[in-house]
Chains A and B, each alone.
Chain A
Amino acid sequence: DIQMTQSPSSLSASVGDRVTITCRASQSISSYLNWYQQKPGKAPTLLIYAASSLQSGVPSRFSASGSGTDFTLTISSLQAEDFATYYCQQTYSPPWTFGRGTKVEIK
């Protein structure tokens, strides 16, 4: 199985900060990497698919890049509604594994 390692596991940031989350795959997954946001008590929502494609309706302050084994999600200017947990997911081969998540908290 492909292992997905996210870092950091949590971070504290202020509104307006630039935030970067990384995700590393245990083997090459080409660009089959997605990013999800989950708020407490809610279902996850898709932010980014295919490593860098912004899902319709997602604000442009979210961006992502990477291919192969190393990927990043960037929030250019953190907003109050962005405090949540973020997960990466590989869909290169089943099982479609998720990272353990990065919790973004208010500083």
Chain B
Amino acid sequence: EVQLVESGGGLVQPGGSLRLSCAASGFTFSNYWMGWVRQAPGKGLEWVANIDQDGSDKYYVDSVKGRFTISRDNAENSLYLQMNSLRAEDTGVYYCARHGSRCFNYWGQGTLVTVSS
């Protein structure tokens, strides 16, 4: 059974940093692109970043470029999102998701990030 479990969310002040983790199990992690999607409170879904199987190819939404870094550790079956220079508008639930055929076919339960003073 595919499982994705996010952790690392919490309350952080504007300008601060946070590192999200996603522990993957039930599939061969190193065979799949992975991504992060976020959802502001009461709002819709926003794709944040994608990473290829060996971490060499990465894509970001413009609003996080230069501030967020997606990475992975295939030996640990883990996906990460390093978030720096956080802003109030980064507040929301962050989901880890596995790629399927140019889609996200498995999602984690999400971790809440709150940026506030």
Contacts and interface: CB of A to CB of B under 8 A. Distances in A.
Contacts of B61: 94-95
Nearest to B35: A96
Contacts of A98: 44-47
Given A43-B108, A43-B110, A96 B101 contact: no
Interface of A: 1, 32, 34, 36, 38, 42-46, 49-50, 53, 55, 87, 89, 91, 94-101
Instruction: Report the interface size class on chain B.
Output: 20 to 34
A86 B62 CA distance: 24
A101 B109 CA distance: 19
Secondary structure class of chain B's binding surface, majority of residues: strand
Given A89-B47, A100-B44, 15 more contacts: A32-B102, A34-B103, A43-B95, A43-B110, A44-B37, A50-B101, A50-B102, A50-B103, A87-B44, A89-B45, A89-B103, A89-B104, A95-B59, A99-B44, A101-B44
